[in-house]
Structure 1
Amino acid sequence: MDKYRVSAIDGMRGFSLLGILLANMLIFQYGIWGKDEIGFYSLSAADLGAYKLVKVLVEGSFMPIFTFLFGYSMIKMKESLERKGVPLKRYFVRRFLFLVCAGLLHSTFLWEGDILFFYGFMGFFLLLFMNRSKKTLLIWGTSLLILMSFLGYGNMEESAEDKKIMAEYVEETKTIYSSGSYSEIKAHRNNEDPLNLPDAFYVVILILAPLLTAPLFLFGMFAAKANAFVHLQKERSLYIKGSLLMLPIGIALKVIPHVSESAWSGVAEMLGASLLALGYIFLFALLYTRKPNKIFPAAFESVGKLSLTNYLMQTVICTTIFYGYGFGLFGKLGMIWGIVLAVMIYALQAIASHYYLRRFKRGPIEQLLRIWTNFSWNGRVRQKKLRIEEGPKKAEGM
């Protein structure tokens, strides 16, 4: 399958991991709920400014890039497997089961911000669209993007009791995460819920999740079927127009919730997050057409080729830095230094990935995924043996 890899897609995947790490740094530093209750952490004016920049420019807009690439890669894998005569659905079902299980282990034993379970879960939903036409994918993606954005309409009023429960939860999280043992942190992560929502609510969320997040997956599948990002120079004008259109609109929409409490703020934020993600995709592809210096594209590609391994390593590194069983810096580092730390971690991953790929073809987690998916110890796809009819052979012998 490596023969058919698209370099720009590997680079874009690596680029998205940088943004995902910057966004996840909010969770690593302040917790899954605390990141949106930042007032409890008494940030300086500079840190608060950095926090708002991350919320507008990064959070919610880099995960959709990864989502787009998931859909793109799914179609490219399908095309590769068809060339090899491999049963498609069996292959994808095993692959998605691996992601679901890895996600459950990741979220249970390491960190609450897992995305692997969600991607595995979404994969089963996307099988419904795998053989659809480009037009169908584009129509469904656009329609769902508009429709699902309206779920953000309205304002939720917190009662005094709700605010008190959240405040107590955040304070408890600060104490446990910064000085607690592994078992204490794990118990808090898996058992405490400041919203006290009924199980039925989470069932509804699980049902809505595929529709809510489907647009970028479907746009990625559309792009793959259109063979986008393969002939970059030919598409350069499209990237310029896409960047100039999507980036300012996306940023403007994401700023609205920070300057207005309108009932439409949620709609603007949800729509803006997706449009900004598309803008980043166009911008990165545009930068890729220039390539005056191949160091940076190559660095992003190296990280992207080991995306699964690097994503999990980010969890191991950051929980060790911030949690009590490591250096215990939870809630203490500040936003600016958190951003600096994220860039440093990513730079180290880029260097390590580069040298790792000089010796190995794929990362350890990627290899495990291939072994399980292909049911072969070497991780290679088992191709169907071509059957040669005996009839023609006998005819040649005669």
Structure 2
Amino acid sequence: MTSSGSPEDTAGSTGATYPVGPIRVSDRLGAIDTCRGLALLGIFMVNITIFSGPIGDMLKALPPAPTEGITEHIAHYFTAIFFSGKFYPLFSLLFGAGLILQMSSVERRGGRFVPLYLRRLVVLAVIGLSHAIVLWYGDILFIYAFAGLAMLLLRKLRPSTLFILAGVLFGLITVVTLGAAAIGAMVGAAPASTSVSEQAPDVPVGTREQALTADGHDASVVNPAAPADSDGDVAATDGKSEAGEPYPGGPADTAAKEEGDSSRKDVPDEDARPYEVFLKSMESRSDRVQGPWDDRWKEAERDVYRHGGFVPALVVRSITWASMIIFCLFGFGWHVLMMFMIGAALIKVDFFSPSRERWHVRLAWLGLLVGVPLSVVSAAATVLFDPGFARAFLQGWGVMAGGPLMALMYVSLLTLAVNRGYFPAATGAVANVGRMALTNYLMQSVIATFIFYWYGLGLFDQVSRVACVSMVLGIYLVQVLFSNVWMSFFLYGPMEWLWRLLTYLRVPSLFRTASSDRAVGP
């Protein structure tokens, strides 16, 4: 019998049912908690580059300049090879595994899994959305909530079917990566300037559309209001008189006025802060910001995250988050779903059991011999290849293929260590971090934004890579200590407790007692 608010077992030979509740400690797999705890370190090691500087710099994944020193290069390539694109697949794999574990527990107790898990996903989506908008745009919880909806439809499939579907998704991701690389190469091969002024030299920049007459004629080619020549045809005068002045009320005159108005709207004040320049350029028809890699976007981030205030930072953060959601729809999100499927399939074949040790060894070798070289090529592509198709494809596909293979390598090695009893103190300590995964994930955002944003130290885009790596290791060590102290007194982390409260619609017991059980983390 558990304490108040925890699930009770009332099993008997008469087929009694069990109240629905969190999974009991006897159902837990220690290796999963340990893997989840280590995944938080890996995710933070990558996220710190987004916390600390403009997202456009992270997307380019360029190495440090030669003048930055050897330690900066070591930090960059160490992170790129062993962390970037490796730990969110691992975390996603564990999320898919957790779904199947919870489904098995709920159905064994006679509960209805789908309504329960839908509430769980809704709560996760709300937490993720709040995290993204109020604190940090790099949130992954919102994406997990929607990928979890898809997994609900696939939860009953056989492991072999899930593996096949994951393979199909990987093929689609490869095609998308190829297409993106090809498009990027074509764009890169285009002339440096493709402004409207080059397409129509007689029309000022941004006025090609404005110079169209009401009936669709191009005023830069012919002016219907101009006098006819001796043959009765309209003279091609560009809407101007022989003296070079626009005909009053003619298309060229109208276009000139509209161009003047447009120019005044598009050009910000000289003393405008970068945030205001960014907003103006987002509205501009002639010189619109093209993406996070645009210098105006980067300057806006530096402005609002260093100096605030709340509303400007909220606006820039929301725009950045929206752009990331679009990116997820065409790439990252499908990668997450693929790893959900693999995690669900692995738990169904009892992958974490000591009886599967042969699988663990083989996958560890596969990650080492294939995944690591792919990651090395991906990280080195920026220096091995000029900008173009080969560089773009190897960068993208090296992460998309090498990342999951190295994630499987990590999970296999950790499972071997836990099952064989290697380093029990270390794996146990990291497991407690994993049992408080949601709390620790959000805590990383709180600490990092305090370091880099205006309401704290305001060090945005002013910290070296080496310093960032050192920060991550130090903060994670504090999280290990905090998690172990907390879990010695409490059943759940603070956010895990809140998640359960809103999922099960009753107040779960928080304090640990001799008879209490612990529940599976997110």
Task: Say which SS state the counterpart of residue 321 (structure 1) adopts.
Answer: helix
SS of 2:104's equivalent in the other structure is helix
**Residues 41 and 365 of structure 1: CA distance in aligned 2, closer, same or farther (over 3 Å):** same
Cα pair distance change 1:235/1:202, threshold 3 Å:
closer
CA contact (8 A) 1:125 1:210 kept: no
> Using the alignment, how far apart are the partners of 2:509 and 2:502 within structure 1?
8
Residue 23 in structure 1 maps to residue 46 in structure 2: yes
Q: Does 1:288 align with 2:418?
A: yes
**What runs of 5+ residues in structure 2 fail to find an aligned partner?**
1-22, 194-289, 511-522
Alignment of structure 1 residues 172-187 onto 2, 5 Å: 172-187=300-315
1:218, distance to aligned residue in structure 2 (A): 0.7
Q: 1:122 aligns with which of 147, 152, 159?
A: 147
The residue matched to 1:331 in structure 2 has which SS? Answer: coil
How far did residue 288 of structure 1 move? Answer: 2.4
Compare 266-275 and 183-192 and name the one that shifted more. 183-192
- State which drifts further: 333-342 or 281-290: 281-290
| Deviation of 1:210 (Å) | 5.0
Query: 2:427 is matched by which residue type in structure 1?
Result: P
Specify the alignment match of 2:97 in structure 1: 72
What is the aligned partner in structure 1 of residue 329 from structure 2? Answer: 206
- The one-letter code sitting in structure 1 at the alignment partner of 2:372 is I
C-alpha distance 308-183 of structure 1, shift in aligned 2 (>3 A): same
Q: How does 1:128-207 map to 2 (within 5 A)?
A: 128-153=153-178, 154-155=181-182, 156=184, 157-158=187-188, 160=192, 166-191=294-319, 206=329
* Distance (Å, rounded) in 2 between the aligned partners of 1:250 and 1:235: 21
Q: Specify every segment of 5 or more residues in structure 1 that has no aligned partner in the other structure, as ranges.
A: 381-398
Shift of 1:59: 1.2
Q: What is the percentage of aligned positions where both structures have the same residue?
A: 29
Distance 1:94 1:14 in 2: 25
Higher mean C-alpha deviation, range 343-352 or range 277-286: 277-286
Q: Deviations over 1:293-315 (max 9, x none)?
A: 32210111010000000000000
Following superposition, the deviation at residue 324 of structure 1 comes to: 1.4
* Secondary structure at the counterpart of residue 227 of structure 1: coil
Query: Measured at CA, do residues 165 and 360 of structure 1 come closer, stay the same or move farther in structure 2, by a change above 3 Å?
Result: closer
Question: In structure 1, which of residues 205, 212, 224 is the aligned counterpart of residue 347 of structure 2?
Answer: 224
Matched, 1:84 2:214: no
Take 1:246 and 1:227, find their aligned partners in 2: how far apart are those partners? 20
Shift of residue 51, structure 1, vs aligned partner = 1.5
Greater CA drift, 269-278 or 15-24: 269-278
Amino acid aligned to 1:247: L
Task: State which structure, 1 or 2, has the greater radius of gyration over its C-alpha atoms.
Answer: 2
Change (3 A) 1:57 1:188: same
Alpha-carbon distance in 1 for matches of 2:417, 2:361: 10
Q: Which residue of 1 aligns with 2:365?
A: 244
Equivalent residue in structure 2 for 1:364, among 494, 508, 511: 494
**Whole-angstrom CA distance in 1 between matches of 2:128 and 2:325:** 17
Q: 1:209 to 1:176 in 2, by over 3 A?
A: closer
Q: Does structure 2 conserve the Cα–Cα contact (< 8 Å) formed by 1:322 and 1:330?
A: yes
CA offsets, 1:250-304, max 9 Å, x none? 1211232323441641333311122121121112222323434322101110100
- For 1:208-257, what per-residue CA distance to the aligned partner results, in whole angstroms no more than 9, with x for missing partners? 6654432211110011111221x32x333322221111223112112323
Normalised TM-score (structure 1): 0.86
1:307 corresponds to which residue? 437
Structure 1 residue 164: deviation in Å? 11
Aligned partner of residue 33 in structure 1, secondary structure = helix
1:8 counterpart = 2:131: no
Q: Is the 8 A contact 1:32 1:112 kept in 2?
A: no
C-alpha distance in structure 2 between counterparts of 1:312 and 1:243, whole Å: 30
Q: What CA RMSD, in Å, does the superposition of the two structures yield over aligned residues?
A: 2.6
Counterparts in 2 of 1:40 and 1:142: CA distance versus 1, 3 Å: closer
| Aligned residue in 2 for 1:44 | 68
Between 1:20-29 and 1:41-50, the stretch displaced more is: 41-50
Q: CA deviation at 1:147?
A: 3.0
Moved more, 17-26 or 178-187: 178-187
For 2:508, the aligned partner's letter is: N
The alignment covers a number of residue pairs equal to 373
Could you list the per-position Cα deviations for residues 45-90 of structure 1 after superposition, in whole angstroms to 9, with x for gaps in the alignment? Answer: 3213312321222111100000000000100000000111111110
Q: Secondary structure at the match of 2:460?
A: coil
- Equivalent of residue 482 in structure 2, options 324, 332, 352: 352
Q: Are the aligned partners of 1:41 and 1:331 in contact in 2 as well (CA < 8 Å)? A: no
Q: What's the counterpart of residue 61 of structure 1?
A: 86
Which deviates the most, 31-40 or 63-72? 31-40
Structure 2 Cα separation of the partners of residues 91 and 202 of structure 1: 26
3-state SS, counterpart of residue 55 of structure 2 = coil
Give TM-score scaled by structure 2 length.
Answer: 0.67
Determine if contact 1:29/1:331 at 8 Å carries over to the other structure. Answer: yes
Match of 2:135 in 1: 110
Quote the Cα distance in structure 2 between the aligned partners of 1:165 and 1:147: 26
2:341 aligned partner, one-letter code: L
Counting helix residues as a fraction of each chain, which structure ranks higher? 1
